[in-house]
Amino acid sequence: MNGIKQLILVSLTLLSAPFFAQPRGAVYLNEKKTIEERVEDALSRMTLEEKVAMCHAQSKFSSPGVSRLGIPEVWTSDGPHGIRAEVFWDEWNNAGWTNDSCIAFPALTCLAATWNPEMAELYGQSIGEEARYRNKSVLLGPGVNIYRTPLNGRNFEYMGEDPYLSSTMVVPYIQGVQKNGVAACVKHFALNNQEIDRDNINVNVSDRALYEIYLPAFKAAIQKGGAWAIMGSYNKYKGEHCCHNQFLLNDILRKEWGFDGVVISDWGGVHDTKQAIYNGLDMEFGSWTNGMNWGTSNAYDNYYLAQPFLKLIQSGEVKEEEVNKKVRNILRLIFRTVMDKNRPLGSFGTEEHALAGRKIAEEGIVLLQNNRNVLPIDLTKVKKITVIGENAVKRMTIGGGSSSLKVKYEQSPLEGIKKRVGQNIKVTYVQGYESPAVVEQDVKGAKAPEKKVIDVERLKKEAISAARDADVVLFFGGLNKNENQDSEGADRKEYGLPYGQDELISALAKVNPNLVVVLLTGNAVAMPWVKEVPAIVEGWYSGTEAGNAIASVLVGDVNPSGKLPFTIPVSLKDNGAIALGEYPGNGKEQTYNEGIFVGYRWTDKQKIKPLFSFGHGLSYTSFVYGKVEIDKNILSPMSNLNVSIKIKNTGRRAGSEIVQLYISDLKSSLPRPVKELKGFKKVYLNAGEEQVVSFTIDKEALQFFDDRKHEWIAEPGKFEALIGASSTDIRGKVSFELK
């Protein structure tokens, strides 16, 4: 027995040798020094060639360390919804490992729809454990680009249209990830709000809109979340690509915000050696690729920050201090992650993580409409359920660009429903519509499937026939991860549902009054049939446990409590970016003519009634809001005031309500939105229970960015605090004054 113990100890020692049994003088062993002292110690031992090598990739997802000094490589992984499968060293294709099947977590639109920072922390902690187990140094996420238009193909990866909501949700996500000794790399910095022409479009935006709308979530990620890494975006700003942009990376990120982490390029986002040297970039990845599926093989020595960088230093044209600045940031990242001896071990593909994802999904699913209380389904009164729609069985964890995952399993909605209702209720499935088959992403040798003629009318007739005699019809539609749906690299071409779904839904509504439409999307969609359908649910892309989460909400095991993180307009002309005619630009330039008026700020300003409002979401119970109370009516610049309201659950079942605080500036020297979100709380109440919800208002909540002075201003004057269940469902308000 003792011999076995000795063998185990020897084996553990050998396995940990790359990190713990470093060569004499290795920087890892200087544990009594501060991180900054260790950084300078390591830097002083490195050759120029070793320093330059650390500034660029050596494979698709890694950059070199210095084995001579015991400094490990940096390994990154795509996120933010799961840990990407291992790929070949110099290819995008999966490497064929048998132990890298991950848990897929809900897309970030679903997380944002929970309006619950506790869910963001659970998400970050869980995905961070998965990344740590796979020994990743950097998780390439989360994404916090603002939802400017419903057509952006990558909106599903982000946290909605509002800077305050995104800022609040991103902080615990980052903290959860980094507890595991894995750096969260917040992306894409900045103004990456469309996929069309993303590599070369130059974004023209006012400083005011930049600071008020597009930067706050990044600032919160850095200053409150303590993110250790940030990724530049593909597009240009002020004529410079954002991966080496003086104004964004040096002036704002480093000088204004005090960022001390690593700036990583998006894959293929670097275009110039000298700009990369001087304009704030630290690590270059993926040059001469599109970031997804093609590239120049083994080009790493020719990267902009590789041999061209080295030669400029050797010739004296560039000072060595320029590479030292970058390597300091990289070493700081390494000491915070893989060279932290207290780094936990993590876990991977566990039931615990799957259930965490399910909980997040259940809290994020939004009940948009529920006329005649069709939901929840009363299983004691139902004998036959007809499930219609390709999305009831289609895998949503594959495809979509860099968010594509190799998952341990994915529970489909059809499987989840069958499992939940049991064998006493007949569940039939009819496809109803079909999307074109596409090449399987990241699979070596994958061939394009043969083009197939889809018989739309036949599928429609079969669905209508099956729906006639069902007690309940569940239609699963929406978008998918095909190109021009919810997918990296291309925007959507239309606002309506693809593949003939709109016509099919209207036809189904005519033959069965108990129709429930469940949308699986990461984006808003047109709903021309909204008045014909009694119940509509936004189910999002909910990951590994999607089917179980959706089924639990449909039958009432879980009371829906999610609310929309973006506005759903009736039509595209109700969106500011599109109404003002600039989107998607002319291929070279794109001007944000709507300025600060994004999402509900635009519909409020124009007095447009949305299809479904920002912050909207129904429940299976009811909540009554009391009178808004305020502790004082005068706010000085050095004090705070408190606003409170009593919320009561007046229904027959427990549920959660998201109480939202908006601030309205009644008179300002510059145009301001009618109101802006400045607080929210999710409260759980049993039937009959009531609770007082309180918010603290400080000077910061009243500020706007004055681009004439380049500073945040809170002007004295009169304000209103509005409490609502959504941006258009205001239940009470109270006035106060800033002296």
Q: Which of 78, 100, 197, 266 is catalytic?
A: 266
Tell me how far the alpha carbon of residue 464 is from its chain's centroid: 37
Q: What is the rounded CA–CA span in Å between residue 177 and residue 352? A: 16
DSSP string, 404-454: ---BS----HHHHHHHHH-TTSEEEEE----PPP-PPTT-TT--PPPP---
Q: List the structure tokens of 335.
A: 């000491």
CB within 8 Å of 30: residues ≥ 6 apart: 37, 38, 41
Do residues 76 and 140 touch, judged by C-beta distance below 8 A?
yes
Cα three-residue angle 599-602-607, rounded to 5 degrees: 125
Q: Is 266 a catalytic residue?
A: yes
Tell me how far the alpha carbon of residue 248 is from its chain's centroid: 21
Q: What is the 3-state secondary structure (H, E, C) of 706-720?
A: ECCCCEEECCCEEEE
Cβ-based burial of 144 (10 A; exposed 0-12, middle 13-18, buried ≥19): buried
Query: Is the peptide bond preceding residue 244 cis, with omega within 30 degrees of 0?
Result: no
Q: List the structure tokens of 225.
A: 């979340």
Q: How far apart are the first and last CA of the chain?
A: 77
Q: What is residue 247's DSSP assignment?
A: I
Q: What is residue 81's DSSP assignment?
A: S
CA distances 598 to 88, 159, 161, 292, 676, Å, are: 41, 14, 7, 30, 11
Cα three-residue angle 41-43-49, rounded to 5 degrees: 150
DSSP string, 55-69: TB-SSSSEE--BGGG
Among the listed residues 118, 219, 226, the one whose alpha carbon sits nearest the alpha carbon of residue 179:
226
Query: Is the peptide bond preceding residue 142 cis, with omega within 30 degrees of 0?
Result: yes
Tell me how far the alpha carbon of residue 189 is from its chain's centroid: 13
Do residues 161 and 612 touch, judged by C-beta distance below 8 A?
no
Q: What is the largest CA-CA distance in the chain?
A: 82
Among the listed residues 179, 265, 268, 267, the one whose alpha carbon sits nearest the alpha carbon of residue 229:
265
Kindly report the length of the chain. Answer: 739
Catalytic residue ranges: 266
